[in-house]
Structure 1
Amino acid sequence: MKAFLSLLLLGLVSLVQALSSTGNRLLVVIEEAADKSKYSSFFGDLESRGYSITYESPKSKTLSLFKHGNLAYDHLVLLPPKSKGFGPQLTPNILVDYVNNNGNVLLALTADQPIPAAVASLLLEFDVTLPPERSALVVDHINYDSNSAADKHDVLLIPAPKTLKTGVKNYFDVDGILAVPRAVGQLLGNDSPLLAPVLRAPETAYSYNPKEEEALEDVFASGSQLSLVSTFQARNSARFTILGSAEMLQDAWFNAQVKAPRAPEATSTANKAFAERLSAWTFQEIGVLKVGKVQHYLNEGKVKESTNLTVSEFPEINPIMYRIKNDVHFSIELSEYNGDRWIPFLPAAGDSLQLEFSMLSPFHRLTLEPVSPTTNSTIFSTSFTVPDQHGIFNFIVNYKRPFLSNVYEKRTVTVRHFAHDEWPRSFVISGAYPWIAGIGVTATGWLIFVAVWLYSKPDESKAKKTQ
C-alpha cells in the first residue's frame, strides 16, 4: 500500500512539474486581456507542459520581474504592445538584468503596429538591428500564401529550419511548411558568437515600409540577410528568442491551410509544432547540458596495463601535482536534457568535444572520445603525456555551440621537475655509454700507471754513477 501511494505521489508530482530544467514560473506580458483568446492553443500547450502562467499588462503597477533581489519568474513571454513600450517595469536595462540573472525571454514582434523605440533599443543590447522604419515588414513575391496574401504578399511560406551548419544540432526541424505573417526582419551582428538565426527569409524576400509610396530603391536588408526568428544565448546560458511574427503563435495559424502560388493544392502549416519546439528551447527544455564527474589521474604502471585494480592500487583521483613527462588520463561526464529526463550526450556529426592542457597557451588540444555511456550520461576521456615544462597548468573543457548551453570546466594542477632521485641512472641511457667508457678507460689507465710506477725498479748502474 505504501509503495502504491509513493508511486501515486510521484506521478502527481511529475504531472505538475514543468518540463523546463530551470523552473516552471512563466510570466506572459499582454496588453489587452481580450487578446489572450488569440493565443489560447499556445498557452494551453504551455500549461499542459507544467508551466504556471501569470498574465500581466505592461501597465500593471504590480508588475515586477524581481522579488527580494531574486527572479520572480523563471521565464518571460513579451507579446507586442499596442502602446509605445512595455512600461517602466520592463525597460531595456531591467530586461538585460533579467537575462543576466538567468531569466529566459521570448519576445514576439509584429508589423501590424510600429515597433516601440524601447524594443529597438533593447535588441541593440544583443547586437540585433531592426529596420529604421518602425512599420517595416518582410514581403516575398514568390514564396507567399495565395489564400490570405494574394495582393500584399506579406504572409511568407518557408520550409522548416535546416541545420545551421555542420556540427550543430537542429532542435527546430518540424514536418511541414511554416506560415510567417507580417514579420519584422532582423539583422544580426556578425561579431557576436552568442547570436544564431533559426529561420532566415527566402532569397527573394526583402524588408520595406508599406506606408512609403515612393519607388523602393534602397532596402534595409534582403534574402538570407534577414532573420525572421533569432536566438541569443548569454554566457550564463540564459536564452533570449526574437520571433519576428507574433501571429505565428496565434490559433488562426496553427495548422492553417496555406497554398503557394504554384502549388497544386493547399497544405497545413507546421506552426504549432514549431512554436512548441521554439518555446521548448527558449525555456530550456531542450539543448541543456549538465556536467557530472570530472576526473584526472596518473596513468602509468599497473593502471595503464591492467583494468582489474584494487582500491589501494588505483592512483589518487584529481591530484594537485604532476611531474613532467607523466602519463595522465582525463575524463568528463556529460548529460543532455531532452524535456523530461537526462540522457547521454553525444555531439552532432562533424563536431567533437575537446580538452586543452594549457598554461598561458595550450600545450595539448585533444579530442575527448565517448568511451562509456551510462543510463543518463556519456563519459568522454583521453590520455596524454605531460609536456616537458614545469609550471601551473589547467585542464580546460570549453564547449560552446549554438543552441546548446555552455560548458566550461577548469581544473588547475602544478607540474614539477624530476626530483633528485627520479632521474634515470646513466647506465640505462645508451647515449651515456661513450662517456662511461671514457671514465672506465681513464680510471683503468690511471691504475695501470700507478702500478707501473710503484712496481718498476730503477737501473742500478745509473744510480751508482749519479752518486
Structure 2
Amino acid sequence: MIFRAIFFSLLWTVSQVTAKSLTGSRLLVALEDADIKESYSKFFGDLESRGYTVDIQSPKNDKLSLFQHGERAYDHVIIFPPKAKAYGPALTPQKLVEFTSKDGNILLLTSPFGTPEQARELARELDIDLPPRDFLAVDHFNYDTVSASEKHDVILVQRPPPSKSAQNYFSGKEGDVIAFRGTGHTLGNRPLLFPVLPAARTAYTYDTKEDFAYAEEPWSAGTQMHYVTAVQLRNNARVVVSGSAEMFSNEFFDMEVQAPNGQATKTANQEFAKEITQWAFQESGVVKVIAVRHYLSNQTDAPINPNVYRVKNDITYEIELSEWATDKWIPFTVPPNDSLQLEYTMLDPYYRLPLLPSTITEDSTVYSTSFKAPDQHGIFAFRVNYKRPFVTYVDEKYTVTLRHFAHDEYTRSWDISAAWVWIAGIAVTIAGWVVFCMLWLYSAPTETSVKKTQ
C-alpha cells in the first residue's frame, strides 16, 4: 500500500508538471466528421504541444461519456458542429451543464448550417441566443476582398484593443485582424457573460435563403451582435461560444486577407485561437489567494488573524494574490483603472477601502490597507469581493468580534484635556476647604476680661 501511494503521488506530480492547465490535461474533441480532422491539424497540434491529451471522438459514439464513477472523465471539451441534427446521448444540454458544475470547461463551436438544437438549449442556459439554422453573418464594409468579394461573408474583425480597466488576455498589436465566417449571437443581461469579439455597427445576420442584398429584417445587427463570447460560471468553470468553427481551421490560420481600400495582411487567427483556449482551459486568468492576514497596527508582536478586536483599534489587513500565467505563478496586478477593495461590514459595509500593493515577491503581490475600527461593537467581517471579467472570482470573508471598552481600558480623566477645567475646579475647592479649616482651627477668638463688682 505504501508503494502504491508513492506511485500515485509521483504520477499526480508528473501530470501537474506536464499539464499547463490547472484543471487537468484530458481534452475531449467531439468531432463527427473524421475527414476534416486534417483541416484543423494546426489547432490540434498546438493543444498537444501544450500538454493536452487530445481524444477525438464522434458525438454519436455509444461508449462516449463525460463521467466515470460519478467524476469527470475529461477536464475540457471542444464541441464541433455536427452534420446531423443532434450531438448524441453523451452531449445533451443537461449533461453538459452537469459537466460545468463539476468544474469542467467547454469550447462550443457553431456554424450557420450545422448547429443542432442541443447547442441552442445549452446557449440559452447561459443567456446566449443563437440564430436559427441557415443564418449567416455578413459585413459589407469589413470583409475580405480576396475570398469573399461577392458574398462578404468572410468578416475581418479587429483584435480587441488593450484596456486599462480589465485584463488583456486577447488583445494583440495594433492592426491585427481575425478572419471570421459564421454566425453572430446576442447576449442577455447575465453579468457572467464577457464579450470577446463584438460585431461592428455595419454587420448583421440574415437568412441565407433570402437574397442578402435585400435582407430588410436581419435577425440581429450592429453592436448587439457578437461573434465570440466567454462565460465564467460562479464556480469558475468556463464556457466559450464561438459563432464560427472555420476560424480555427488551417485555412484561416494561413489566410492572407485584404480589407476594402486596405493592404494585404496575414490573419491573427492562430494567435487568437491559442489565447482563447488558454483562457477557456484555465491556463490564464486564474487568480489564487495565497494568504489573508489581519492584525493590530500599533503592536509589533500582535497576533495574526485574532477573533476579537476592540472598538477604535488600529487594524491592518493584507491579502496575497498570485496569477497563473501558462506554466508558472506570477504576481497578480490590478489594472490601472480598476481597484481591489476591502469591505468592513456588519450587514452593510461600514468601510470600503482600496487595497494597494505593499510588497511584490517573485510569484505574488501583497495588497494591504490600515484603518481604525468604528465605534460600534458587534460582529463584523473583512470581505474582499473581486469579480471582474476574464479572471477567476475572489471572494474572501473573515468574521471577527468587535467588543466595547473594558472597564480598565477607558481613558482616565486626567488624560482628557477637556476635563482639566473641572479637575482644576475640584482641586481649587479642596484647597479652599483645607485653607478654611486651617483658618478655623488656628484663628481662635480673643478673650475679653470682665471686672467683678461687689
One fold, TM greater than 0.5?
yes
State the match for 1:3 in structure 2. none
Could you tell me which residue of structure 2 aligns to residue 104 of structure 1? 105
Most deviating of 320-329 and 351-360: 351-360
Partner Cα distance (1:15, 1:347) in 2: 27
**DSSP 3-state at the match of 2:126:** coil
Using the TM superposition, give the Cα deviation of residue 451 of structure 1 relative to its aligned residue in structure 2, in angstroms. Answer: 5.9
Corresponding residue of 1:226: 225
Greater shift in the superposed pair: 215-224 or 202-211: 215-224
Distance 2:71 2:447 in 1: 112
- Distance between the aligned counterparts of 1:237 and 1:437, measured in 2? 66
Residues 1:346 and 2:333 aligned together: yes
Q: Identify the residue that residue 184 of structure 1 maps to in structure 2.
A: 183
Structure 2 Cα separation of the partners of residues 98 and 110 of structure 1: 23
Take 1:84 and 1:327, find their aligned partners in 2: how far apart are those partners?
Answer: 65
Q: CA deviation at 1:334?
A: 0.8
Task: Using the aligned pairs only, state the percent identity.
Answer: 51
SS in 2 for 1:43: helix
Q: Does 1:259 align with 2:258?
A: yes
Say whether residues 1:120 and 2:101 are aligned partners: no
Aligned equivalent of 2:424, options 412, 434, 437: 437
Q: Which amino acid aligns with 1:432?
A: A
Which runs of no fewer than 5 residues in structure 1 stay unpaired? Answer: 1-8, 304-313, 462-467
Give 1:82's aligned residue: 83
Deviates more, 1:418-427 or 1:77-86: 77-86
Contact 1:255–1:270 (Cα < 8 Å) also in 2:
no
Say yes or no: does 1:367 pair with 2:354.
yes
- CA offset digits 1:48-80 (Å, max 9, x no partner): 100011122111111111111211111110111
Letter in 1 for 2:104: G
Assess, with a 3 A threshold, how the Cα gap between structure 1 residues 456 and 218 changes in structure 2: closer, same or farther. farther
Whole-Å separation in 2 of the counterparts to 1:459 and 1:122: 115
* AA in 2 matched with 1:125: E
Query: Counterpart in 1 of 2:451?
Result: none
Partner of 1:315: 302
Cα deviation, 1:353-408, whole Å, max 9, x if unaligned, reads 11111111111111111121111111111111111111111111111111111111
SS at match of 1:286: coil
In 2, are the aligned partners of 1:345 and 1:378 still within 8 Å (CA)? Answer: yes
How far residue 456 of structure 1 moved from its aligned partner, in angstroms, is 7.1
**Aligned AA (2:93):** P
Which position in structure 2 is the counterpart of 1:198? Answer: 196
Kindly indicate whether residue 21 of structure 2 is the aligned counterpart of residue 20 of structure 1: yes
Question: Gaps (5+ residues) in structure 2?
Answer: 1-9, 449-454
Deviates further, 445-454 or 138-147: 445-454
Q: Please tell me whether the aligned partners of residues 30 and 57 of structure 2 are also in contact (alpha carbons under 8 angstroms).
A: yes
d(CA) in 1 for partners of 2:219, 2:15:
48
Structure 1 position 255, deviation (Å): 2.0
Q: How far apart are the structure 1 equivalents of 2:277 and 2:290? A: 26
User: What letter is aligned with 1:255?
Assistant: D
Residues 121-136 of structure 1 aligned to structure 2 (within 5 Å): 121-131=121-131, 133-136=132-135
Q: Does 1:54 align with 2:55?
A: yes
Give, in whole Å, the separation in 1 of the partners of 2:445 and 2:98: 104
The equivalent residue for 2:141 is 142
Task: Report if aligned partners of 2:113, 2:133 keep a CA contact under 8 Å in 1.
Answer: no
1:6 counterpart residue number: none
Kept after mapping to 2: 8 A contact 1:84/1:117 = yes
Q: Which residue pairs with 1:395 in the alignment? A: 382
1:294 maps onto 2:295 in alignment: no
Any conservation in 1 of the 2:311–2:402 contact (CA below 8 Å)? Answer: yes
Residues 16, 50 of structure 1: 8 Å contact kept: no
* Offset at residue 233 of structure 1 (A): 0.5
Shift in alpha-carbon separation, 1:299–1:124, aligned structure 2, 3 A: same
Give, as a single letter, the amino acid of the residue that structure 2 aligns with 1:152.
K
Contact conserved, 1:30 with 1:57, CA < 8 A, in 2? Answer: yes
What is the identity, as a one-letter code, of the residue corresponding to 2:165? G
Provide the TM-score with structure 2 as the length reference: 0.90
Instruction: Check 1:16–1:386 CA distance in 2 against 1; reply closer, same or farther (3 A cut).
Output: closer
Over the residues paired in the alignment, what is the CA RMSD in angstroms?
2.3
> Alpha-carbon deviations, 1:105-125, whole Å to 9, x = none?
100011133x32221121111
Q: Which segment drifts farther, 77-86 or 40-49?
A: 77-86
CA contact (8 A) 2:81 2:116 kept: no
Q: Distance in 2 between matches of 1:337 and 1:65?
A: 26
Alpha carbons of structure 1 residues 449 and 219: separation in structure 2 relative to 1, 3 Å: farther
Deviations 1:118-144 (A, max 9, x none): 21121111111122x322111011111
2-structure distance, mates of 1:369, 1:15:
32
| CA distance in structure 2 between the aligned counterparts of 1:240 and 1:205, rounded to whole angstroms | 24
1:420 aligned to which of 407, 416, 419: 407
- SS of equivalent residue, structure 2 residue 389: coil
Q: TM-score, normalised by structure 1?
A: 0.88
2:16–2:24 CA contact under 8 A, matched in 1 = no
Q: SS at the partner of 2:288?
A: strand
Partner SS state of residue 220, structure 2: coil
Amino acid at match of 1:358: T
Equivalent residue for 2:3? none
Q: Secondary structure at the match of 1:395?
A: strand
Distance 1:16 1:29, change over 3 A: farther
- Quick check: 434-443 or 350-359, which moved more? 434-443
- Match in the other structure for 1:310: none
State how far apart, in whole Å, the 2-side matches of 1:295 and 1:219 are: 55
Q: Distance in 2 between matches of 1:377 and 1:166?
A: 21
Q: Please state how far the C-alpha of 1:221 moved relative to its aligned partner.
A: 2.0
Q: CA deviation at 1:294?
A: 1.0
Supply the distance in 2 between the matched residues of 1:372 and 1:166 (Cα, whole angstroms).
22
Equivalent-residue separation in structure 2 for 1:390 and 1:320 (angstroms) = 13
The aligned residue for residue 370 of structure 2 is: 383
